[in-house]
DNA sequence: CCTTGGTTGCGTACGTTGTACTCAATAGCG
DNA sequence: CGCTATTGAGTACAACGTACGCAACCAAGG
């Protein structure tokens, strides 16, 4: 119920929240007071004008429409099909009109990431224990990655986006680990949660890459893969350099059960976290 | 020392290896015998002609040279700087000459992946227990990802490459988990190893994305980041929607220690695997 | 020796991409 | 009714991957 703070004293959760709220308000006040440089890197995610200046014609598009259109194209024909021309065509505007809403294509990518992050439904706070909450978030994230196979590629080429949708996921995970009976400090909580998310992303990346390979070569089953990769693989295996791998290929049974593998690894991680809780 | 096989009997490791070797040889013989379709998807990784046809001038380049040049460009100026024109210029040949060695740009990417996979030094088999072996492989993989920040992006956009360099890493990990005192079946061994690799890839992706963000905005320390992201972040935090996250930002101390976070998660995973071994 | 034919290196050219620049049309304020 | 900030769109350009075709090369066959 209590936690050691930096100066060695203990504070209750209520005290902690009050302290942080006060600090945030002070920071906000300071920011409002100083009116500094135009702070350019600020607009990482493009925003609509909060209060539209009254002059001139109304914009015909919203950022949400652009994001939805881009996601739609990527879902249908892959990330490479998202070109400014095609995106504009889908929105029935001229190509260059898009640049009234986004600074460049990177902005479009940021909008896509935000849109997808908003898709994931978080478990209600306190509706389950930390373990079940983390499991649900992981499952939800994985589902998103599989629904949008281009996501992994986008996340690895686009910088981190500061958006409420993204922060909310992080907060949900941290809050679950911040429950009353848990003894992790903040750094460990973040490390534990980011371990889980890293795992989910890594798995999804690999899984999507495999699907992509199957699609490109027209394989529809694991047997197709074995038939096609065999001529390349068998000579290597036959030389005896990879005995354990050969054992897997010959005797393994869950080879294409991505769901099972994912769950296996996830439970490993949750067990590891549990061990650190002394539970 | 023994393991249940499919038919319920037990076989020693020696018996198993013999059985698999025999099977491989039979497969090889069958392949040689039937001389089937040109099996196009075979050449996933471009290869030099094993026995060069004697007619015509000698090639001036090797695939290794091409791979090294591409890796060099990507290391210096990022993956997008690897264009066919620039790669050719670096190799002092005309642009289109490259297409005598690779079918298309995808091939160049495959060569890069292979080259990087060959960089990693595996622990000698049996030189350490399964846990230490996996830890070393993970560390080595992470080092590669940080040495070549473009790797994560490439792995998430290029299909899996069948190359000895890649298979060797997999074999080393599986062999470590196949030690005498371990009770995992093959499927579990593969799931455990791929859990680790997925984690490493996910972490590296996030870490590289963060570095890239820092670089692009010219931040050189965490304080720079906080100064720049503050105006965007503080209003969100001040509304109280992310209390745990705010706690971390205010009170966390290991915020930029990627090494520590990586090790934390890795030990979690190893603990989880250990738990499945009944150790 | 000369001829032959497959192989290599390279120059040209085309279609597609992101986007800088420019200018006409729009619509609320004075 | 102008005035003026703002939007939508057309044109244009540099850079990209790469299809195509031709010249230079070089061992084998005569």
How confident is chain B (279 residues) per 10-residue block, as mean pLDDT? 52 84 79 51 65 74 96 97 98 97 95 95 92 97 96 86 88 89 86 97 92 80 76 78 88 82 97 85
Chain A residues near residue B255 by CB distance under 8 angstroms: 187, 190
Hey, are the CB atoms on B156 and A209 less than 8 Å from each other? yes
The yes-or-no verdict on residue A6 having pLDDT over 80 is no
Nearest-by-CA chain A residue for B164: A236
- CA distances B178 to A256, B129, B183, B186, B274, Å, are 21, 11, 8, 8, 13
Measured to protein CB atoms, the chain C nucleotides within 7 Å are: 5-12, 16-21, 25-29
Reported pTM: 0.89
Cβ neighbors of A46 (< 8 A, separation 6 or more) are A63, A101, A102, A103, A107, A110, A111
What percent of chain A is modeled with pLDDT above 90? 51
The answer to whether the beta carbon of residue A179 comes closer than 7 angstroms to any atom of strand D is no
CB A148 within 8 A of CB A195: no
pLDDT of residue B238: 80
Contact B234 A268 (CB under 8 A): no
* CA A149 to chain CA mean position, Å: 12
In this complex, the nucleotide whose C1' atom is nearest to the CA atom of residue A108 is: C18
Which residues in chain A have Cβ-Cβ distances shorter than 8 Å to B31? 230-231, 234
Q: What is the pLDDT of residue B31?
A: 64
A65 touches strand D (CB under 7 A): no
Report the distance separating Cα A162 and Cα A114, nearest Å: 9
- Report, as an integer, the average pLDDT of A80-98: 97
Task: Tell me which chain A residue has its CA closest to the CA of residue B22.
Answer: A238
- The reported pLDDT for the residue numbered A54 is 60
Distance of C1' in D22 from CA in B81, Å: 30
Q: Provide the CA B96 to C1' C3 distance, Å, integer.
A: 30
Q: Given this model, what pLDDT does residue A124 score?
A: 93
Alpha-carbon gap: B58 to the closest alpha carbon of chain A (Å): 27
What distance in Å separates the CA atoms of residue B212 and residue B25, rounded to the nearest whole number?
Answer: 49
Task: Using the CA of B94, give the nucleotide whose C1' is nearest.
Answer: C10
Asked whether strand C has any atom less than 7 Å from the CB of B62, the reply is: no
| Strand D proximal to B215 Cβ, under 7 A | no
A 185-214 residues inside an 8 A Cβ radius of B: 186-192, 194-195, 197-203, 205-206, 208-210, 212-213
Cα nearest neighbour of B201 on chain A? A202
CA–C1' span, A224 to C14, in Å?
37
Q: Which of A101, A237, A189, A91 is nearest to B21 (CA)?
A: A237
Chain B residues with CB inside 8 Å of A264's CB? Answer: 188, 191-192, 195
CB contact under 8 Å between A42 and B276, yes or no, is no
Residue scoring higher pLDDT (B135 or A240): B135
Characterize the bridge pairing of strands A10-12 and A2-4. antiparallel
User: Which residues in chain B have their CB less than 8 angstroms from residue A39's CB?
Assistant: 228, 231
Chain A contacts of B122, Cβ < 8 Å?
none
Place of tokens 């994912």: A262
Amino acid B13: pLDDT: 80
Contact A205 B203 (CB under 8 A): no
Q: How far is CA A108 from CA A45, A148, A190, in A?
A: 9, 16, 29
Provide the pLDDT for residue B126. 86
Element holding A192 (H helix, E strand): helix A186-217
pLDDT of residue B5: 47
> Closest by alpha carbon to B92, among B63, B64, B65, B72?
B65
The number of C-alpha atoms within 13 Å of B177 and in the hemisphere containing its C-beta is: 30
* CB nearest A272 (choices: B190, B241, B271): B271
Please determine, for residue A216, whether its predicted confidence score (pLDDT) is greater than 90. Answer: no
Predicted confidence at residue B9, as pLDDT, reads: 58
Can you read off the two tokens belonging to residue A147?
């629904």
Closest chain B residue by Cα to residue A198: B202
pLDDT of residue B55: 74
In DSSP notation, B66-106 reads HHHHHHHHHHHH-GGG--HHHHHHHTTS-GGGGGGT-SSHH
Q: What per-residue confidence (pLDDT) applies to A279?
A: 60
Whether residue A39 and residue B231 make contact (CB cut-off 8 A), yes or no, is yes
What confidence score (pLDDT) does residue B260 get? 95
User: Does the nearest atom of strand D lie within 7 Å of B104's Cβ?
Assistant: yes
Task: List the single best residue of B272, B276, B278 to mutate versus A (max A Cβ within 10 A).
Answer: B272
CB B95 within 7 Å, strand C: yes
- Categorize the per-residue pLDDT at A1 as very low, low, confident or very high, splitting at 50, 70 and 90: very low
A170: closest chain B residue by CA: B245
Count the neighbouring beta carbons within 10 Å of the beta carbon of residue A279: 11
* Predicted confidence (pLDDT) per residue in A122-167, tens digit: 999 889 999 999 999 999 999 999 999 999 999 988 767 778 888 8
Whether B224 contacts chain A with CB within 8 A: no
**A242–B171: do the CB atoms touch at under 8 Å?**
yes
CA distance A60 to chain B (A): 27
- A192 with A262: CB under 8 angstroms? no
């Amino acid at each position: 119920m209590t936690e050691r703070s930096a100066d060695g004293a203990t504070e209750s959760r209520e005290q902690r929240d009050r302290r942080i709220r006060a600090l945030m308000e002070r920071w906000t006040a300071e920011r409002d007071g100083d009116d500094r440089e135009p702070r350019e890197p600020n607009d990482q995610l493009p925003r609509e004008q909060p209060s539209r200046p009254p002059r001139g014609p109304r914009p015909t598009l919203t950022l949400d429409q652009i994001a939805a259109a881009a996601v739609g194209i990527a879902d249908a024909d892959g990330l490479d099909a998202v070109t400014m021309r095609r995106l504009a065509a889908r929105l029935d505007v001229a190509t260059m009109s898009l640049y009234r809403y986004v600074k460049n294509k990177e902005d479009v990518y940021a909008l896509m990431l935000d849109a997808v992050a908003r898709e994931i439904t978080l478990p209600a706070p306190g509706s389950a224990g930390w373990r079940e909450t983390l499991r649900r978030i992981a499952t939800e994230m994985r589902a998103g990655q599989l629904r949008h196979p281009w996501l992994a590629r986008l996340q690895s080429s686009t910088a981190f986006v500061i958006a409420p949708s993204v922060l909310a996921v992080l907060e949900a995970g941290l809050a679950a680990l911040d429950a009353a009976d848990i003894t992790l400090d903040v750094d460990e909580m973040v490390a534990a949660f980011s371990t889980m998310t890293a795992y989910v992303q890594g798995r999804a990346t690999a899984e999507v890459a495999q699907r992509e390979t199957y699609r490109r070569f027209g394989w529809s089953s694991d047997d197709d893969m074995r038939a096609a990769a065999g001529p390349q693989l068998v000579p290597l295996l036959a030389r005896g350099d990879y005995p354990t791998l050969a054992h897997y290929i010959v005797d393994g049974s869950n080879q294409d059960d991505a769901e099972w593998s994912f769950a296996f690894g996830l439970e490993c991680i949750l067990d590891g976290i549990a061990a650190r809780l002394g539970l």
